[in-house]
Structure formats: structure tokens, C-alpha cells
Copies of this chain bind each other. A is one copy, B any other.
Amino acid sequence: MSLREQKKKETRDRIFETSSRLFKEKGFEGTTVDEITKEAGIAKGTFFNYFPTKESLLSYFREQREEFIINIMQDQMAREIPVREKIENFLIHVAEYYEKDRELLRLLFFEQRRLLMSSGHSLSHGDHRKKKQELFIGMLADLTIEGMQKGEIKSDIDPKLVAQTLHAVYFHSLMTWLHSEDDYSFSKDMSAKIDIIFEGIGV
């Protein structure tokens, strides 16, 4: 039924949003299923009708985030602008997306490994992370190749190495920002560093 489906979605969303909020406030292990259900206004058992385990919430978070990022990537790739701008735009848009939710991102980033470690999922986790990072770097590599073809980037370097270096700068800015308590803009911080990659520091 449409009505029934409607209600189910509502409940699922309420669980999800309540969890998000509580996880941000108190961390994953610091939040109990009991709290989640109480704040979401449902019975404890109901939680397990929607998510088989507490951990499964994290997978759900991750999926949503990745879907979002891939969309951003594809949007940028389709545009008709210089490659350097594409790259910068892409990285900056991802950064801006992250800026909206630093706490949850911290959680996902730092919690994931430990959680998956203890459940013996290490294989699928490694696979997953690698796949995700490869996707990210792969797209940067594609842009790099595009840049080489258009004469915007030196063509005597391995494009993958370039992509990795760009990712390094993005990733470093991200990590520094996640670890910091200061309230500065992650996306702006990253921009200046990308310039160095393009210009080089050697004389």
C-alpha cells in the first residue's frame, strides 16, 4: 500500500536522522540503540525491523554519502571548461559537501576501520575502500589525461601519479580539517595547494 510504504519510509527516515544526530553528538559507541529508539519515538524492537544490526546504520550512511559524491563528480566532468578548473571545481565541490557535516564524517572515517575489523569483514572493507579510492583517483586520472590531450598538463608524467598527487593534497586537507577543532574552510585551504601542484616548486 502507498500509505503503508509511506509510513515505513517515515519510520526508517526518523531512525536514520535520529541516529545521525546522536552519533554526531556522542559517537557511535557512545550512542545506544535504546536512546535512538526513545528519541525516535519507537519501540526498541522496531529498530531491528528496519536495520538488522546497529552497525548496519553505518553502511547506510556510507552508501548515501558515496552516491552523493559520484553525482558531483559526474556533473563536473561533463562541463566545458579548462581541465584545471574542472579538477579544482570537482575537489572544491566535494569539500563543500563535506563541510556541511564535519562531525559525521569524522565518525565515519575513524570508526569504520575498527568496526569492520571486529566483524571480520576486513576483506570486503579493504575491497570497498580500494574501490572507492580508485574511483576517485580514476576520475582525476581521466581528467589529467584529458588535460594532457588538450595540452594543459605536461604529458611526460604518469597520469595516475598526477592523480594520486592531487588526491594527496585533497586528502591531506581533508584529514587536517577533520582532526582540527578550528573553524576554517576546508575547500579554500585546498585550493592554494592545488596551485602548487600545477606550478611546481622547483626553480
List B contacts of A43 (CB < 8 A): none
List B contacts of A180 (CB < 8 A): 126, 130
A interface bracket (residues with beta carbon within 8 Å of B): 35 or more
A96 contacts B by Cβ under 8 Å: no
Establish whether residues A192 and B161, one from each chain, have CB atoms under 8 Å apart when the complex forms. Answer: yes
Considering only CB atoms, which chain B residue lies closest to A173 in the complex? B168
Establish whether residues B29 and A114, one from each chain, have CB atoms under 8 Å apart when the complex forms. Answer: yes
List B contacts of A113 (CB < 8 A): 106, 110, 179
Most buried by B among A26, A129, A158, A175: A175
List B contacts of A165 (CB < 8 A): 169, 193, 196-197, 201
Number of copies of this kind of chain in the complex: 4
A138 contacts B by Cβ under 8 Å: no
A45 contacts B by Cβ under 8 Å: no
Q: Mark A145-178, 1 if CB is under 8 A from B, else 0.
A: 0000001111001100110110111011101100
User: Cα distance A172–B176 when bound, in Å?
Assistant: 11
Considering only CB atoms, which chain B residue lies closest to A178 in the complex? B113
CB-contacts of A91-148 with B (<8 A): 106, 110-111, 113-114, 117-118, 122, 126, 129-130, 133, 144
A residues engaging B (CB < 8 A)? 26-30, 84, 106, 110-111, 113-114, 117-118, 122, 126, 129-130, 133, 144, 151-154, 157-158, 161-162, 164-165, 167-169, 171-173, 175-176, 179-181, 192-193, 196-203
